[in-house]
Amino acid sequence: MISPLESGKKYFVNFKVSRIDRFVYCAHDKMGALFSIVSYSLGNDSCNNVQGLLPNNFAHVYSNQIMTDTANWTTVTGSFIADSAYQYIIIGNHFDDNNTNTICLDSNMGAHYLIDNIYVSTDSVNGIKQSNMEQSVVVYPTVSSDIVFIQINIPSKANIKIYDLLGRLITTQTVLPFEQNRISIQEYDAGIYIVSVDIDNKIITKKIIITK
């Protein structure tokens, strides 16, 4: 976090989740946000020690929906009252197998998810404004081999950037509001791409899948 949370204050949280279908089908629920006073980093030698400091089967905000969608973003949202000066947020599934519902072809398979648009604030109004702005950005079709259309349903120009999953910028352009802005994707490789829409310095992200 930019600064620690204040104990006793109510915080509003939301973030976006989208599943990546990597070779096998596997999905689960309980995607959530856990706030902590200790840092957790995958690959850190002290990772196991940190895990012991985190509560089991608990997240401050989480969803009971099994996240199966690979074409769209699903919003996880909620609120809580901070009881400590939390400085870190850890997003994922913080529940054990007995408390997690899954759809999976094999119990040994894992699930892969993209996370984006993380919002934490004491101001619920800005969160609503952000949600309304997200709904004003329409990208279709989300699965295509040749073109996608981007429509901005508010009176603001927008800068569009498309990235691949490695974070490499593929293309950028400016689109006009209330028009079906056509973007050619024929020259790009098949895969999952992130469409980043900058409207009035607010970033909205959408996901598209390019097929061949």
**What pLDDT digit, counting tens, does each position of 74-88 carry?**
889 899 999 999 999
Does the pTM surpass 0.85? The reply is no
> 49: Cβ–Cβ under 8 A, 6 or more apart, which residues?
none
Comparing C-alpha atoms, which of 171, 78, 180, 164 is closest to residue 120?
A: 78
Does residue 158 have a pLDDT over 50? yes
Q: What tokens appear for 30 in the block? A: 């309980």
Please identify, in words, the CATH class of the domain defined by 136-210: mainly beta
β 147-152/137-140 pair status = antiparallel
What are the sequence ranges of the domains in the chain? 10-123, 136-210
Amino acid letter at 165? L
pLDDT in tens, 14-48: 899 998 876 567 889 999 999 998 887 654 444 44
pLDDT in tens, 168-201: 999 999 998 888 899 999 999 999 899 999 988 8
Does residue 56 have a pLDDT over 90? no
Q: Tokens 């607010």 correspond to what residue? A: 202
